[in-house]
Amino acid sequence: MNRHQTRARQRGMAMVIGMIMLVLLTLLVVSAINSSSVNLRITGNMQAQDEARAMAQQAIERVLGVKANFYPTPTAQPATNYHVDNNSTGNAVYSVAVAAPVCKGAAKQFPGRTPDCINGARAGLFCWDTLWEVVATATDTKTGVRQVITQGVAIPFEPGFNPATVSC
């Protein structure tokens, strides 16, 4: 009879241990799901920041491609929509504005590095090496992610450039 009572107690104990194990496994699974969703959100935010930074850099490159954006009057570029996939059907749209370039310094090229600069120097007209600061702000229109990129650039100007007109 003693044996029979021992078996009966063991059956109940197995069920309790099994339930405890199920509860622990459930908690472990719920914790893993929460952790993965947080990591997914972090990764999505990092991607949005990287895309915004790339869109701001792309806008700066477009401004750098046109000397008229710097001289005779530095001009700001109004907010323009940029698409991550470079077409107008993409979902990720960034509004990017580029502030007017700011001249940080100018120095005469002496000696000149091109025939025009050398000949201009002989006539008293020098070529100029200038340093500019360009700032672009990209904002994701859906999430509100915002990145500000500041880039310095050196631009040489031919004879006839007047640094006083751009406050160098």
Q: 163 or 92, which is more confident? A: 163
Q: How far is CA 134 from the centre of its chain?
A: 15
Q: Give the pLDDT band (50/70/90) at residue 1.
A: low
- Rounded Cα distance, 168 and 156, in Å: 13
Taking only the tens place, the pLDDT of each residue in 99-124 is 999 999 999 988 888 888 888 877 88
> What predicted TM-score, i.e. pTM, was given to this entire model?
0.73
> Considering Cα of 59, then 64, then 68, then 73, what sign does the dihedral take?
positive
Of the candidates 135, 136, 58, the residue with the CA atom closest to the CA atom of residue 92: 58
Q: Give the pLDDT band (50/70/90) at residue 89.
A: low
- Rounded Cα distance, 5 and 11, in Å: 10
- Rounded Cα distance, 141 and 81, in Å: 9
* Residue where the block lists tokens 């500019």: 132
Any residues with CB less than 8 A from the CB of 119 and at least 6 apart, and which?
112
